[in-house]
Amino acid sequence: MGSSAGKRAWCRTFQAVMKVGNYFLPWRIPETLSGEDSVLELPDKLKAAGHDSVLVVTDESLMKLGLPVPMLNKMKEMGLNVAVYSSVQPNPTDRNVEDGFRMFREKNCKAIVAFGGGSPMDCAKGIAAKQAHPKKAVRQLQGLLKVHKRIVPFYAVPTTAGTGSETTVAAVITEEKTHHKASINDPVLMPRLAVLDPKLTQGLPPFITATTGMDALCHAVESYTNGTYLTHLEREYAKNAVRLIHEHILAAYEDGSSIEHRQAMQWAAFYAGRSFTRGCVGYVHAVGHTLGGLYGVPHGLAMSMILPCVLRQYGEKVFGRLAELADECGIQGRSDAEKAESFISWIEETNRKMQIPRGTDVIQDKDIPQIIAWADKEANPLYPVPVIWGEDDFRTLLETLRKQA
Ligand SMILES: NC(=O)c1ccc[n+]([C@@H]2O[C@H](COP(=O)([O-])OP(=O)(O)OC[C@H]3O[C@@H](n4cnc5c(N)ncnc54)[C@H](O)[C@@H]3O)[C@@H](O)[C@H]2O)c1
Ligand SMILES: [Fe+2]
């Protein structure tokens, strides 16, 4: 059982070529502003860069909370023309992208500022990709290197500490008609600048703090256990992220007002994002995206539930790498196997303390073939996962998730 020898050979050959190809891509790291009220420095940056008219992309809940208001006021005080597109849904859709792009064009904007979690950031990247290819549907831009053209100046202000979209080349968009959730992946989507202002995440509810933080952990762990495409930089970033999350996630969950823990989680998400954007994610994301697209399961929640299940299913293939991550966190064990087990137990225990369920009953029998087809297509051959799965392995994972619901 498992994947066929032919499939494994094809995937590993593709990945060997991709590893070389990666050295020719223009990987960047966005400039960062960090610290309390750093978001108020952004309008000066925009002005200095000569952008007189910007589209701010955010969501309704954030508008209701008034979170973008100080930044918007400062932009207006500085004489910038500001249009706000605030109808982004969680798990943003192609329709959100089209609507936002229409506003961008009608208001004659010259730059985009994404303000929010991964949903507004990804929608904003989608708008930027559309601006480069107005005649193409979002679906046609999904995949690898389909934008391939300079985009409008793009700035990101994350208000969750999770997706790392502020430092990734990906925009994950769901097609409204089919519920298919897929990524646009292109280095041109890397933001110019990311603002890590801890005050913006102080009001994040504990459950969203928990699940988005686990999403960041997932990025670091999947990237690190994949290994193949990483350079020293991404390996160190993944380790830093895991160490910071181990140290700060529970504290941020329990005391959301702490600037120290909030800022640490923002750096963790940033490092994890920059690590996985080159190193790729794995089956946790590939399966998790289908649950987001089909059933609207929030991304971070899907990640938190699926991560320990996938790591257990990978088995001894990941013991060595998980043991290295355990060492980074000071998690003890007498062998790699023991350390890996303790590392996975730490994830499960942390989930439990943060009231995150271990599984889900949303998965419908009739959807299973579609879930497997989409997850397989997303991951293979691009993601250099430690173990290449066949259909039965995906089924095992889905069964585990249902059993643990
Ligand atoms: N581009 C990437 O590299 C990448 C990586 C991982 C995930 N994603 C995508 O990102 C999306 C998920 O993003 P997310 O997990 O950040 O969630 P989100 O952006 O959907 O936000 C979740 C909820 O939290 C609220 N919220 C956000 N910030 C808040 C704050 N400071 N205070 C109070 N409420 C706040 C939002 O209004 C929303 O209701 C998914 O679509 C996922 O696929 C993208
Ligand atoms: Fe993610």
* pLDDT tens-place string over residues 258-291: 999 999 999 999 999 999 999 999 999 999 999 9
Ligand 1 within 6 A of CB of 382 = no
Residue ranges, the chain, pLDDT below 50: none
Q: Give the closest residue (by CA) to ligand 1 atom 20.
A: 90
52 CA to centre of ligand 2 in angstroms = 33
DSSP per-residue string spanning 263-312: HHHHHHHHHHHHHHHHH---HHHHHHHHHHHHH---HHHHHHHHHHHHHH
What domains are defined for the chain?
Answer: 5-24+203-403 (1.20.1090.10), 35-200 (3.40.50.1970)
Would you say 213 and 236 are in contact if contact means Cβ atoms under 8 Å apart? no
Which tokens in the block code for residue 376?
């397989």
User: Which atom of ligand 1 is nearest the CA belonging to 62?
Assistant: 37
- The percentage of the chain sitting over the pLDDT mark of 90, rounded to a whole number, equals 99
Residue 117 and residue 2 in contact, taking contact as beta carbons nearer than 8 Å? no
Q: Kindly give the number of the ligand 1 atom that is closest to the alpha carbon of 201.
A: 31
Residues in contact with 177: Cβ distance below 8 Å, sequence separation at least 6, in sequence order: none
Q: Evaluate whether 224 touches 282 at the Cβ level (below 8 Å).
A: no
113-144 residue pLDDT tens: 999 999 999 999 999 999 999 999 999 999 99
- Output the pTM of the full model: 0.97
Nearest to 207 by CA among 254, 169, 171, 165: 254
Using an 8 Å Cβ cutoff, are 79 and 54 in contact?
Answer: no
Closest ligand 1 atom number to CA of residue 211: 15
d(CA 344, CA 355): 17
Cβ atoms of 68 and 55 closer than 8 Å: no
pLDDT at site 33: 98
Q: Is any ligand 1 atom within 6 A of the Cβ of residue 336?
A: no
Helix (H) or strand (E) holding 157: strand 154-158
Torsion angle of the four alpha carbons 32, 36, 40, 42, in this order, in degrees rounded to the nearest 10: 0
33 lines ligand 1 (CB under 6 A): no
Whole-number pLDDT of residue 376 = 98
Q: Are 109 and 53 within 8 A, CB to CB?
A: yes
Q: Give me the residue label for tokens 């895991």.
A: 242
Ligand 1 atom 10, closest CA: 118
Q: Residue 276: nearest ligand to its CA?
A: 1
Q: Which residues of 12-48 are buried (b: 16+ CB within 10 A; e: fewer)?
A: eeebeebeeebeeeeeeebebbeeeebbbebbeebee
Q: Rounded to the nearest 5°, which phi and psi values hold at 297?
A: -65, 125
For residue 21 and ligand 1, the question of a CB distance below 6 A is answered with no
Measured over the CA atoms of residue 69, residue 75, residue 78 and residue 82, the dihedral's sign is negative
278 in ligand 1 pocket by Cβ < 6 Å?
no
User: pLDDT value at position 400?
Assistant: 98
Q: Which amino acid is located at 236 in the chain?
A: E
pLDDT at 1: 66
Question: Is the C-beta atom of 174 inside 6 A of ligand 1?
Answer: no
Q: Does the beta carbon of 61 lie inside 6 Å of ligand 1?
A: yes
- For residue 2, the model assigns a pLDDT of 84
